[in-house]
Structure 1
Amino acid sequence: MKQQKSITILAICISVLAAAAAAIGIFSAGGPGKHAFTTIHGEQVILFGKGLYRFDSVSMAAQAIAQDVVTLCLGVPLLIVSIVFARRGSLRGRLLLAGTLAYFLYTYMSYSFTSMYNSLFLADVALMSMSFFAFVLTMMSFDTRALSENIGDRFPAKPIAVFLLFLGTSVGLMWLGKIEPSLLNDTVPSGLEQYTTLVIQAMDLGFIVPVSWLTAILLLRKNPFGLLLGTVVCMKAATMLTALTAMVIGQVLAGVAVPAAVCVLFPAANAIAFVFLFVLLRTIKEPANKGGKAA
């Protein structure tokens, strides 16, 4: 694998720093507890009031803590396992590494731009930066022509393309449905609370939705790069949707009203993503020279 040493160092740094940051987010305490806050738009918001996320709303804090749990219990172990197998020359390991790094990139980009300022701001920025460069280096290490030969004819291109089109369209419509009324009525979007703008919606509409559609189109056209994107996106979806499912559960437990569509869409998509991930891992054929370390 090209740039193996650089990717390994970045992955180790991400694992250590993310584990520490997630643990602090989960277990930190102290603070006045829940209390009301009036936003610049005159809206009453209940702040979490405890620990690292004490300045975030109850809804946002519940989501952040739930994602920290997924990062600590799933994301970090996956990153460690994937880098170990990738260093051994495993194609599955390299693909899993790319998908896991995409999860960390999205996670800490959202933390850097969404969460209220806290003591881990620089850690979140560092994790976002390291994840970005490790992800780019990993993606650049793939030979798409060789990859198409190793994935084989059993790759479920059409089902995955349909799934990604459905997922991208559903997320797009869900967020546009949230944003459009505020644009038409010149009002504050629901759920903005004390935050300045809709960061997650901007990230999803600007990156996740287009990437889902682009990947689906490339898969339907049997483009070799589509095989790479399709595999990585499915692996990233499995981890990110797990975090989103955990966020839904965290919000419900915190007493936050969650739309029924969200309660159904994310867990269902999460289950489907894991099914596709399992199928993908079975269809991938390891290269004949597996075991030799690339320069």
Structure 2
Amino acid sequence: MRGTLHRLPGLIAAVSAGVAAVGLAWRPAGRPVPVVTPRGQTAQLAGDGLYRYDTVFTAAGNTAVDAVVAAFGVPLLVAAWVSHRRGSPRGSVLLAGTLGYLLYVYASYAFGVAYNPLYLAYVTLLSTTLFGFVAALAAVDRTALAAVVADPDVPHRTLCRFLFVSAAVTAVVWLQPVLTALLRNTTPDLLDVYTTPVTYTLDLGVVAPAAALAGLLVHRREPLGYLLAAPLLVTIVLLLPTITLGTALQAAAGVSFTAPQVVGPIAGFGVLGVIGGRLLARLLRALPDARLAVAGAAGPAGA
């Protein structure tokens, strides 16, 4: 597993940066194309750019994701990888968290973005982030995680409640449109030209159960719960800039929003992002850094 992480994160960082750069440079020019969906509804496609066959709403959202990956995801991955390679348990946990975030992003792209010239890059990133994430989980020092469990300064109860609340909120947010559509015998809003809502699938099938499981394990003070919390916290923190920028780009592209539709998600994810960021920082601070530990041990010996 350690051999897998020697070069793989660097490859992921390079390919992710390239994919994000193409998405940002090859943006739609603002000439949407109206189409009739297989269900007889009308939708607006972006019409040109990398995401030309995605709807205007989705294309703008993808551009926001590309920007956040380039600005935060890739630098965070590189920093965590460098820290992991020097033997830092803190870096290893952050590496697992960042790879988990990128796995979520590129699973969404590989399964949900309309076919475009970067399809094979999306599949490559889906595969490499998946196996990198598994390798990173296996590489984390379990002794260091046990130290986190025993640390009285870690907000164990707050982390547990936050994970349970995140699982519940995710389930409610995505179940509401699906159940409403089932009761009305229609399709969920914004399904448009797509065959299935991939985000709903990933969040309801993977993210919400993972958050609930992590919360349960943290409640039991099991080290695995703290490790599973890392990718969930990184994802929650990066959702705030993604949603904020995505909403701005969607509005600029002509998508209409009411004031509550703009303020509600941004405020809600703002609160979750701030709390999640503080919990992530506290979790990482509780982990030892190998280089600092060695330096501290060498001082007295040399004296």
Q: Distance in 2 between matches of 1:17 and 1:206?
A: 27
Residue 287 (structure 1) shift: 4.9
Residue 32 (structure 1) shift: 8.4
Question: Judging changes above 3 Å, is the alpha-carbon distance between structure 1 residues 285 and 53 closer, same or farther for their aligned structure 2 residues?
Answer: same
Aligned to 2:272: 269
CA contact (8 A) 1:4 1:87 kept: no
Query: Partner letter of residue 214 of structure 1?
Result: L
CA contact (8 A) 1:83 1:94 kept: yes
TM-score of the aligned structures, taking structure 1 as reference length = 0.91
SS class of match (1:51): coil
Residue 253 (structure 1) shift: 3.4
Residue 115 (structure 1) shift: 0.7
Aligned to 1:217: 216
Question: Judging changes above 3 Å, is the alpha-carbon distance between structure 1 residues 232 and 187 closer, same or farther for their aligned structure 2 residues?
Answer: closer
CA contact (8 A) 1:90 1:291 kept: no
Q: Distance in 2 between matches of 1:143 and 1:30?
A: 45
Query: Partner letter of residue 238 of structure 1?
Result: V
SS class of match (2:275): helix
Residue 7 (structure 1) shift: 1.3
CA contact (8 A) 1:31 1:54 kept: no
Q: Distance in 1 between matches of 2:166 and 2:247?
A: 17
- Provide, for residues 67-119 of structure 1, a one-character-per-residue CA deviation record: whole Å limited to 9, x for no partner: 00001111111111110010011111111100100011000000011111000
- Provide, for residues 212-266 of structure 1, a one-character-per-residue CA deviation record: whole Å limited to 9, x for no partner: 1111111111112112222343234323444344333332333324535323322
Question: Judging changes above 3 Å, is the alpha-carbon distance between structure 1 residues 36 and 141 closer, same or farther for their aligned structure 2 residues?
Answer: same
Question: Which shows bigger deviation, 228-237 or 95-104?
Answer: 228-237
Q: Distance in 2 between matches of 1:135 and 1:78?
A: 14
Written as runs of structure 1 = structure 2, the 5 A alignment for 1:151-166 is: 152-166=151-165
- 1:22 counterpart (20, 23, 28): 20
Query: Partner letter of residue 186 of structure 2?
Result: T
Q: Distance in 2 between matches of 1:149 and 1:55?
A: 50
Aligned to 1:177: 176
Query: Partner letter of residue 253 of structure 2?
Result: A
Q: Does 1:101 align with 2:99?
A: yes
Query: Partner letter of residue 164 of structure 1?
Result: L
Question: Judging changes above 3 Å, is the alpha-carbon distance between structure 1 residues 66 and 291 closer, same or farther for their aligned structure 2 residues?
Answer: farther
Q: Distance in 1 between matches of 2:206 and 2:222?
A: 20
Aligned to 1:249: 248
Q: Distance in 1 between matches of 2:58 and 2:10?
A: 28
Written as runs of structure 1 = structure 2, the 5 A alignment for 1:9-158 is: 9-29=7-27, 33-149=31-147, 152-158=151-157
- Provide, for residues 117-158 of structure 1, a one-character-per-residue CA deviation record: whole Å limited to 9, x for no partner: 000000000000000000001101224344212562222111
Moved over 4 A (4+): 29-32, 287-292
Q: Does 1:188 align with 2:191?
A: no
Q: CA RMSD in A?
A: 2.2
Q: How many residues are matched?
A: 290
Q: Distance in 1 between matches of 2:250 and 2:204?
A: 23
Q: Distance in 1 between matches of 2:12 and 2:222?
A: 32
Aligned to 2:299: none
SS class of match (1:118): coil
CA contact (8 A) 2:61 2:250 kept: yes
Q: Please, which runs of 5 or more residues in structure 2 have no aligned partner?
A: 296-303
Query: Partner letter of residue 138 of structure 2?
Result: M
Q: Distance in 2 between matches of 1:291 and 1:21?
A: 39
Q: Distance in 1 between matches of 2:256 and 2:3?
A: 46
Question: Judging changes above 3 Å, is the alpha-carbon distance between structure 1 residues 98 and 50 closer, same or farther for their aligned structure 2 residues?
Answer: same
CA contact (8 A) 2:83 2:92 kept: yes
CA contact (8 A) 2:27 2:63 kept: no
Query: Partner letter of residue 224 of structure 2?
Result: F
Residue 30 (structure 1) shift: 7.0
Residue 49 (structure 1) shift: 1.4
Residue 29 (structure 1) shift: 4.8
TM-score of the aligned structures, taking structure 2 as reference length = 0.89
Question: Judging changes above 3 Å, is the alpha-carbon distance between structure 1 residues 103 and 62 closer, same or farther for their aligned structure 2 residues?
Answer: same
Question: Which shows bigger deviation, 24-33 or 139-148?
Answer: 24-33
- Provide, for residues 39-72 of structure 1, a one-character-per-residue CA deviation record: whole Å limited to 9, x for no partner: 1111111111121001110100010000000011
CA contact (8 A) 1:89 1:291 kept: no
Question: Which shows bigger deviation, 158-167 or 279-288?
Answer: 279-288
Q: Does 1:281 align with 2:284?
A: yes
SS class of match (2:34): strand
Residue 173 (structure 1) shift: 0.5
Aligned to 2:301: none
Q: Please, which runs of 5 or more residues in structure 1 have no aligned partner?
A: none
